Amino acid sequence: MIVQVLNRDTMSRIVESVLAGSSRIEVLDRGMNRTIFRWRDDNGASVVAKLWNRPDLKGSVRRCLGIDSASHEWRSLVRLDRAGLRVPRPLGRCRVPPNHQAFTEAVIMEDIGDCDDAMDYIKSLISAGEEAKIQSVEQQLIDMTVAILAAGMIDTDHSLVNVLARNDGELIRMDVEMARWVGVPQIFGEMYGRMLGRLMGSYTFAVQPDDQRVRRFAQQLASQLGPPRRAMRVAQRYLDAMLAEQKARKNIDMNVANVWGA
């Protein structure tokens, strides 16, 4: 992998390879408005490039104002990396020249290699009865949450969907474009609660139907965070809504009322 900050020429070479469909490029994921690539140099060292394609007027205005997804992703990666959160190290950011794929912005970051999806990882640990490793994962999730908030940020997309697990069990937080710096998270009860609710919902999906495990994790999270009571109420509503949607769509009836025990 490549972990040093990249110069403009190297970034341009990576972007050109992406646009040309070079054999150096491997597509890792495609979304509605963004694609994630892995790029390798002549020596096999690699980086990950995340490109957005939002060429319309709204996208142009957001880029001019610095509030587009690439800008948010870059700022969040830099801030959280400096705060000590385990995220892919940010290596560079650049505009993408006009192209037929309509890509407009690129953020280049450390390639953390092939990892397991955190939700699948937790499920496999539960199936294997690996309680010590499960507790390590839970504590890492709490530490991640503490680190984001301590950095003055709130991420309403903070969930296991955006967490990967390495072979050694270390968790890495991915996709931080929804994170926002707010200064004092405690005074933003609604956003704070949505962040906690999103995390609790994804954790519940990973460990269901074990509601007692969910309650223990919630208590540990609350004990170490000390969240505002309003945030806890919002989080419970958010969790309830996620479980109600699961029941409606998949007919899985999971209920964890009053998860904070307060």
pLDDT score of 9? 86
Residues of the chain with CATH 3.30.200.20: 8-110
CATH superfamily membership of 116-250? Transferase(Phosphotransferase) domain 1 (1.10.510.10)
Q: Which CATH architecture has domain 8-110?
A: 2-Layer Sandwich (3.30)
Beta bridge partners of 177: none
pTM score:
0.92
Residues of the chain with CATH 1.10.510.10: 116-250
pLDDT score of 222? 95
pLDDT (tens digit per residue) in 211-256: 999 999 999 999 999 999 999 999 999 999 999 999 999 999 998 9
pLDDT score of 2? 63
Low-confidence ranges of the chain (pLDDT < 50): none
Q: At what angle do helices 189-207 and 131-150 cross, to 10 degrees?
A: 160
pLDDT score of 8? 85
